[in-house]
Structure formats: C-alpha cells, structure tokens
Structure 1
Amino acid sequence: MTDRASPPTERVVAILDFLARHPHDRFGLSDLARRVELSKPTCLGILTTLAESDYLIRDTRDKTYRLGPRLISLGHTAQESMRVSPTAREELGRLAAAYGTTAALSAVIDDRITLLELVGPQSSDVGVRVGQSYPFAPPVGLMFVLWDDEALRNWLTKEPTIPLRTDSERLDRVVAECRREGYLVERLTPSGRRLYALMAGMSSTLPQELRALLGEMISDVGERVYLSSEASAAGPGRSKKRHDISVISAPVFDHHRRQAMVMSLQIGRALTDAEIAKRARGLVVSARALTAQLGGRVASPE
C-alpha cells in the first residue's frame, strides 16, 4: 500500500512547527496565515481548534497566538518514552553546571539521529533544539556506533549522505582509541559548523547540488576526530597548544551492553589537551551514571 500524505494534517504541522521556531513571539491571524502560506479562513479554523484544546493560547487583548500548555505534557511524555527521565535531565544539569556549557542527550530513532534533551546556561545558543534530527549515514553518526562492531559495520555500509573516502587505517585507530578512552572528541572546523546546519531535518537523500557542496566540506569519516595520542606525538610544548573543539561525546549503554544513547558536551572553542581530558573524564562519569540508572552495562573496551 502506498503511503498517502494528509494535506489538512500538514497544515496543522506547519503552524505548530512555525510557532515552535519562534517560542518567544506571538502572531496574529493575518501574519501567521501569511507566514505559513495558508488562507485566513483555513488558518483561523486550525487556530481555533488548537486553542480550544490548549495546544495554543489566544491572547484575547491583541488576538495573537502562541504555543499552549498541553504541548508541555506531550513533550514530557515523548521524552519519557525515549528514556529521558528526570534523573537523566539532572545528570545533564550537573554536567552543564560543572563546565558552564550545554550538555545534550541524543539517540538514533527510526534511523535518524534525534536530539532528546538539552540542558545548559540560559544565555547559550548551540544552534540546535530538542527534537531536531539528522540523517544517520556516513559521515554523520560515528559517535553512535563506535562502541559496537556490528553497528559500526552496518553504518559504514549505508549509502553515504555525501561522496566519501575512508582511510581505514585511521578509522581503525579512531575506533581503538575512543573505545579505550571511553569518549570521542570532534574538532571544530568551518565545515563542521556548516554540515549540521545544512543537514538538520533533511532526509538522507540529498539534492545533488548539496551533496557536491558537502563533499567539498568533509570527505573522510574520521578526519575531524581529535586523538590524544596524536597530540602526545607532537612533542615538547604540546601542553600549551590549544585545539578548536566542537563536541565531546560518550556512550550510554543498555542492559545488552549495546549503545542506547550518546551524552555530549558542547564546546565550541579552543582547549588545551589537559582541558579536553578533564571535560572528557567528567562526561564519561556522567554517561556511566546514566547507564547505571537505565540498568545498562558498560561495554568492555577491546
């Protein structure tokens, strides 16, 4: 049976998605209808129903609309179904407070990488939001398969989102060291910043023009990974050298010792080797605490 889209449902989703992208703003009927490209009568009918069900709030004074309280309970229920418990959020909060940055929890859901939770300073803006998703195919997603041989093999056989070359020797080195250390450190590069911005919400089947652009940005699965062993080999003076780091990630395991989620620290600046190691150790402690809370077991490094 062929899947069929529902245009009326798509209109409801368009309104909710638009308001979710502007959580601090309010919109009148005419403005909102124009923004989501709907006729005013159609838009009014949807807004009225959503407001009556508390999915939206209508301000009776200026006749504007914003997101409503019923979405809060839905969001909490969705998070619980994805195993984002209050204790998990508390663990993210402790991690974020310890290093003054944003901590995140993400997982592969329906073959897409999905951001489950973000906790960090109110002033921080890491450019992503809870619920955002990305294609789970090389070069995106290495952190979700590093600690699982079968998952790694399956991921590498997926059709890549961009044309890739794979340096097998370096990838083997990345896998071995990350498993031994218990975390993955991703370098901050201009291409890396653009990659996730471009791919957010997109399907794994990208337009040829975008595939070509991304191919110019990143062409090797492991090229953006920072390895402490390579830093050590740099010789005298390395301790003062700073590295531009994007994110540090550590796995959360289930009771089968399989990766269930990834906990990450958003960095976005230059750190010394010692600073990287300190944050990575703190992250691993938090990831293992969450593994224990879930009744999971940490996979043994090979």
Structure 2
Amino acid sequence: MSTPGSSGRTSPPTERVVQILNFLADHPDQRFGVSELARRLGLSKPTCLGIVTALADAGYVLRDDVDKTYRLGPALIRLGHRTQESLRVSPGARDELSRLSARFGATAALSGVIDDRITLIELVAPPGARSGVEVGQSYPFAPPIGLMFVLWDDEALREWLSKEPTLPLRTKTARLHRVIETCRTAGYLVERLTPGGRRLYALMAGMSTELPDELRALLGELVSDIGERVYLRDEATPDGSHDISVISAPVFDHHRRQVMVVSLHIGKALTDNEITERAQALMTTADAITEQLGGGVPKRTGP
C-alpha cells in the first residue's frame, strides 16, 4: 500500500500503525476497543493490542481505563503544530481564516503544494457546517488541477503546464491567457460551481496522477479545458447571479513568489457585487498571511 509519489518500498508494521491512526482520525467522536479495532481493520488482536499500547505510552492515543477503549491522544496536537510551523504557517493564519469565515458564514481554507501534491494546510468552517474536505487532504498537482496555485507566478505556471496532464485536455490558449491576465489584474480567481467540478474533486482526493485509463476517460468528460470553470466578470448572465464554487487569492513569500492560496468556499449563487465583496475580504486575508510569512505582495494593476 504505497502512497502517491513513494518509492514503492513499504513497511507492513509501519503501515499497520498508520492504519490505526487514520481509522481513529476518521472517527474522532468514537472510541474503540482492541477487538473492534482489530476486526474493523483486519488485524490480529495481539498485533493491534501491541500497537495501541505503544501509541498510548507515547500519548498518540488515549486509553479509557474503565471500558478499555482508545481514541486519539494529545501528543498528536504537538505534531500538528510542528507540521504547520515547518510549512511556515503561523497560528495567526487560523485567526485570519476564522475572521473571514465568520464574516461570510462560509468555509475558509489555506492550501499549498507540498511534494508535488496540492495539500489542505488549514481550514475553518462555520459552526455545525460540514466542509466536505479535511486538513491534510491532497490532490494531484497537474493540469487541469492546480491553476490557482501557479496563476501569479510565470515560472511556476510554465512548469505546471509542462507536466503530464492528469486527464486528456483540449487547452484553449487564448482563453487561458485571458484568465491569467484578468485574475492577475483583479488579484483573485473565481471558480464556477458545476456538477462536473464537484465530482472531479471528490474523485481526485488522495489519488495519484497516474490514473487508470477508464478513470481518465470519465474525468475527461467532466473537465476538458484548463480554466474553463473560471468565472470572468464580462461573462455575466442576464439575471445577474452566478453559481460560484470557490474564490481564491494568492499568498506570497519574501521573493514575492506565490507559495499558497487562501480560498473561500461558496457553493451557491452570488451577484457580481457579492463576489467583489468576498473577493476583496479574501485578498485582505491573503495579504495578512503574506505579511505573517515576511512576504511581499506584487503590485496589482486592478482596482
């Protein structure tokens, strides 16, 4: 069970540890005894007991002494914080996302490209909302997935376009250039909400770029052109509202190169004024996170 991008070498004992931690992470509100864990994961009971005992000793899981069940432990919090620090994400980034999420009642997220995978680094959702995505979730970083992560960086854009596409594409160069120019001028990207787009990201989560031919063909029916889901203001519909999936803005490092993306997940129809209001607030958030990184925002030519 090698992970995307791995060398193919695996360690079955390590995989069993990962299997248990991932299972507990997928059921954060539940506790499991050794027998149930072993049964649900297809492990022997002695093996499972040995793993959870070692994890409990290290604080990565907690054992309830009364009913002898296990759940995730506090030591993982430290690992999560250290991971974010290594990715140059400060605690202040979550505060910025929280303010953005609260203002519009929508999920705000921070993502970046890590080891050639698009990875969700931080996320804040409104109380009680189900975002449909989780921190740590990753996607292949190859056309047509990932335009927003290279849109503001010429070198990164060229490298991305040179990658083997995740699925067959019919790239319209003129359209792509128009998208790039418009989004760079405005400082943000607006992606339209389409049934194909929703299905695409659901299918692609956690997958490798090396997809089976059958799946590539299916995905090719959903998205066939880079930037085709990008909404441009001069493409307004007669009723003045537009089904929007997500609005994104770039975060820059001290070289003024794009390193991450802040996104506001919409999932409903918005007017042009509502899009602009959210986009301006999103850019303010992205600029604040850029400042936290010690980065610099390139000069924008738009309003």
Secondary structure of 1:4 counterpart? coil
Aligned counterpart, 1:244: 243
Select the residue among 76, 79, 85 that pairs with 2:84: 79
Aligned counterpart, 2:17: 12
Aligned counterpart, 1:197: 202
Amino acid at match of 2:159: N
Distance in 2 (CA, whole Å) between partners of 1:261 and 1:69 is 28
Distance in 2 (CA, whole Å) between partners of 1:87 and 1:16 is 28
Secondary structure of 1:186 counterpart? strand
Gaps of 5+ in 2: 1-6
Amino acid at match of 2:78: S
Select the residue among 144, 149, 163 that pairs with 1:158: 163
Aligned length: 295
TM-score (norm 1): 0.95
Deviations for 1:144-190, whole angstroms, at most 9, x for unmatched residues? 00001111111011011111110111100000000000000011111
Q: Give yes or no for contact 1:105–1:261 (8 Å, CA) kept in 2.
A: yes
The CA deviation at 1:103 is: 0.7
Aligned counterpart, 1:131: 136
% identical aligned pairs: 70
Deviations for 1:98-135, whole angstroms, at most 9, x for unmatched residues? 11111100100111101000012121112110011111
Aligned counterpart, 1:115: 120
Q: Give yes or no for contact 2:166–2:209 (8 Å, CA) kept in 1.
A: yes
Aligned counterpart, 2:276: 277
Deviations for 1:277-296, whole angstroms, at most 9, x for unmatched residues? 11001101111121122111
Aligned counterpart, 2:72: 67
Distance in 2 (CA, whole Å) between partners of 1:300 and 1:207 is 43
Select the residue among 41, 46, 49 that pairs with 1:44: 49
The CA deviation at 1:229 is: 2.3
Aligned counterpart, 1:96: 101
Distance in 2 (CA, whole Å) between partners of 1:300 and 1:145 is 17
Aligned counterpart, 1:147: 152
Aligned counterpart, 1:224: 229
Q: Give yes or no for contact 2:109–2:123 (8 Å, CA) kept in 1.
A: yes
Secondary structure of 1:20 counterpart? helix
Aligned counterpart, 1:215: 220
Distance in 2 (CA, whole Å) between partners of 1:292 and 1:29 is 47
Question: More deviation in 192-201 or 170-179?
Answer: 192-201
Aligned counterpart, 2:252: 253
Q: Give yes or no for contact 1:147–1:299 (8 Å, CA) kept in 2.
A: no
